[in-house]
Amino acid sequence: MMADRPLLTQARIGVLMGGQSSERDVSLRTGAAVHRALVRRGYDAVTIDVGPTLSRDLRDQKVAIAFLALHGPGGEDGSVQGFLETLGIPYTGSGIQASAVGMHKVTTKTILAAHGIPVPAGTVIRRGEKVSSAQMLRVTKLRWPVVVKPASEGSTIGVTIVRKPSQWSEALALAHRYDRDAMVEAYIPGHEVTVSLLGRQDEAPLVLPAVEIVAPGGFYDFAAKYEKGKTQYLCPAPLSVSVTREIRAFALRTYEVLGCAGAARVDFRITPRGRPYVLEINTVPGMTETSLLPMAAAQAGIGYEELTERILESAVARLKQSRSVA
């Protein structure tokens, strides 16, 4: 159904989805939902399953703007952003640097800590390094349990909560299956909360209501994220006014420090005493039917189609900027 208001752009939009990362299936679902929303909103949009023929596909489909619905390495890490920039095709979301930094959790934590943003204590173990659990505990001064995760994966893929030494080697091997760097960090007991943001041209980003995630067994794993009915979501999160204000400020600061654009989502753990820690930032948040960004936007009175259009604004801003420079 064509919209009865002026469109942001008449240019053809290519929804880039799929890719080759371990989050391919989630990306396909995100891309399909985004494409439907854009078409309903009146845009000329096509879907492109990203692969080796991407350059030819973009040319054949006459794509002028890319809406990125890619998750994980190859889509969220700056590589496709750089590729699109070489082709002169504007895209949604964060640029090369913010995408690359945001994808690598270790780099993200290092930068955030330098800016006074609280992150869990921890260390990094490279693939091939022989580090026993006793050595790790001694060097880091951590205590069981600890969390072991790949440095550059999403959707809780390759993540293990290690509660005893006998689980250590297997957890490291799993993380190293997905990334050269395995991140080891303190397990933060308490609540899992996320805060989404929407960038706006020439204005401060809009900070959306926080969502608390109550997962079965207390672990928000892949199944809990993407299987309906597995997890309870509380939006707005039932937090005190002071804690809510604090995590909103930390989320905004994280977004600004990393130089993000468009939509992003900052994930927190909050201790029972109300102390928040930033776990990571997602620079291409999921847009499936169970995703957290659309849920938070709906709480703020922004429907799915409008949300999709607001994300599109970041690409249109790049398009206008490139034309003004030219």
Q: How far apart are CA 70 and CA 53, in angstroms?
A: 16
Whether 72 sits among the annotated catalytic residues: the reply is no
Whether 187 sits among the annotated catalytic residues: the reply is no
Catalytic residue among 226, 255, 277, 304: 226
223, 155 contact by CB (below 8 A): no
Whether 286 sits among the annotated catalytic residues: the reply is yes
Q: How far apart are CA 175 and CA 168, in angstroms?
A: 11
Q: How far apart are CA 234 and CA 271, in angstroms?
A: 17
Whether 155 sits among the annotated catalytic residues: the reply is yes
Catalytic residue among 76, 185, 192, 280: 280
Q: How far apart are CA 76 and CA 80, in angstroms?
A: 8
* Start-to-end CA span in the chain (Å): 35
Catalytic residue among 18, 94, 286, 309: 286
Whether 226 sits among the annotated catalytic residues: the reply is yes
Ramachandran angles phi, psi of 47, nearest 5°: -100, 145
Please report, as a single letter, which amino acid is at residue 6: P
Whether 275 sits among the annotated catalytic residues: the reply is no
Whether 280 sits among the annotated catalytic residues: the reply is yes
Catalytic residue among 21, 27, 133, 155: 155
**Cis amide linkage into residue 145, ω under 30° from 0:** yes
Catalytic residue among 18, 19, 21, 23: 23
Whether 282 sits among the annotated catalytic residues: the reply is yes
Query: How many other C-beta atoms are found inside a 10 Å radius of the C-beta of residue 178?
Result: 20
DSSP 8-class letter at 188: -
**Cis amide linkage into residue 236, ω under 30° from 0:** yes
Nearest CA-CA partner of 250 in 283, 218, 275: 275
Catalytic residue among 282, 291, 310, 314: 282
Positions marked catalytic: 23, 155, 226, 265, 267, 280, 282, 286
